[in-house]
Amino acid sequence: MHTYTEPPVEVEDLAVTYGRVTALAGLSLRIEAGTVMGVLGPNGAGKTTLIKVLSTLLRPSRGTARVMGHDVVRDPLPVRLAIGLAGQYAAVDPELTGRENLEMVGRLYRLPRAEARRRAGEVLERFDLTAAADRRAGTYSGGMRRRLDLAASLTGRPPVLLLDEPTTGLDPRSRQELWAIVDELRTEGTTVLLTTQYLEEADRLAQRIAVVDAGTVIAEGAPAELKAGVGTDILRVRLAEPGTLTAATPLLADLAAAGTAVLSDPSNSELTVRVARPDASVEALRRLDDGGLRVATIQVTQPSLDDVFLTLTGRTATTEESR
């Protein structure tokens, strides 16, 4: 555990412009020690720019950012030693073996040679890469390369980990593995900032989520709070007999979240309800059954980033390209 009492990451009114493009427009956030902050937003929202400022690769035009109390502009060196950085574009050297990659990073963190070697062995073991350790990283699968990249970012045991869309492009199994590792690191006391385009991922990993749009935080809270704001889950019921739609609608009316109504679609005998309670599907089934109405299919889906966006901004989370 790190015995630092201020928030390990503090960002105040950060602005960054690239020529005429405003990437960050007064972004503020703080991350409490030993927690995961999910920074959620569509392409072009400014997530990578935030990571670049925090990792001292980019100077902000306004505002401040501090990592473990060190200002990223005035004090870049201690900031670099305090962070691990891993992301969408795995920064491993394909010509070196997994082990050589890690030893090199250890040296960059200024570990003595023997210590770098020992640490490399340790993280290879932890990330299940021991068997492949002496193969060129260029021969690794995408998931293995991402694990090696994450392993590299942890070689110096940094208290703060910055993960830029760490699971984009990974298959479901590699994604699960990476999630398990992030959980484990947090339990050990690491503070994590993780950017993602997936509400599901932020929901699964983060204690708090900051939704970012056009370079600012437009909402911040615990995952449950944000999802509750969307009217929570969406229930879809398809009835077995088309003529029963009108009878079914009032039975489900009070399951609808405040300010919403049951939508009925006669073309496929389907009812859609934004529901505010977790047991809504069970309750809906019970009521329809009591009413003598037969159900063909029933489905509950969680709100997506698009739903969160639509609720917060009145528009969908379109990517920058399609804007």
Question: What is the closest distance, in whole angstroms, from the C-beta atom of residue 196 to ligand ATP in the complex?
Answer: 9
The site for ligand ATP, by CB under 6 A, has a size of 12
Name the token pair of 197: 């385009």
Q: Is the CB of residue 202 less than 8 Å from the CB of residue 208?
A: no
Closest approach of ligand ATP to the CB of residue 36, in Å:
18
Interaction between residue 49 and ligand ATP (CB under 6 A): yes
Indicate the residue among 53 and 120 with the shorter CB distance to ligand ATP: 53
Instruction: Classify 183 in phi/psi space as left (phi over 0), alpha (psi -120 to 50) or beta.
Output: alpha
Smallest gap, in angstroms, from Cβ of residue 212 to ligand ATP? 7
Among the listed residues 43, 42, 37, the one whose alpha carbon sits nearest the alpha carbon of residue 54:
37
* Helix, strand, coil share of the chain (percent; to 5): 40, 25, 35
Q: Does residue number 45 form part of the binding site for ligand ATP (CB under 6 A)?
A: yes
Q: Which of 8, 34, 38, 46 binds ligand ATP (CB under 6 A)?
A: 46
Whether residue 212 contacts residue 181, with contact meaning beta carbons closer than 8 Å, is answered with no
SS3 annotation, 208-246: EEEEEECCEEEEEECHHHHHHHCCCCEEEEEECCHHHHH
Q: Which range, of 4-12, 18-26, 202-210, 249-257, touches ligand ATP by CB under 6 A?
A: 18-26
54 binds ligand ATP (CB under 6 A): no
Of 43-51, 60-68, 243-251, 277-285, the window that binds ligand ATP (rule: CB under 6 A) is: 43-51
Task: Extract the tokens encoding 285.
Answer: 């089934």
Q: Which is nearer to ligand ATP, 40 or 256 (CB)?
A: 40
Q: Applying CB under 6 A, does 23 fall inside the site for ligand ATP?
A: yes
Q: Minimal distance in Å, beta carbon 21 to ligand ATP?
A: 4
Judged by CB under 6 A, the residue of 171, 225, 279, 320 near ligand ATP is: 320
**Residue selected from 28, 43, 64, 316 as contacting ligand ATP according to rule CB under 6 A:** 43
Kindly report the number of other CB atoms within 10 A of residue 263's CB atom: 13
The DSSP code for 46 is: S
Chain centroid to CA 41: 9
Decide if residue 90 touches ligand ATP (CB under 6 A): no
Quote the CA–CA distance of 182 and 323 in Å, as a whole number. 33
Q: Least separation, in Å, of the C-beta of 216 and ligand ATP?
A: 12
The nearest distance, CB 322 to ligand ATP, in angstroms, is 12
19 backbone φψ class: left, alpha, beta (φ>0; ψ -120 to 50): left
Residues contributing to the site for ligand ATP (CB under 6 A): 18, 21, 23, 41, 43-49, 320
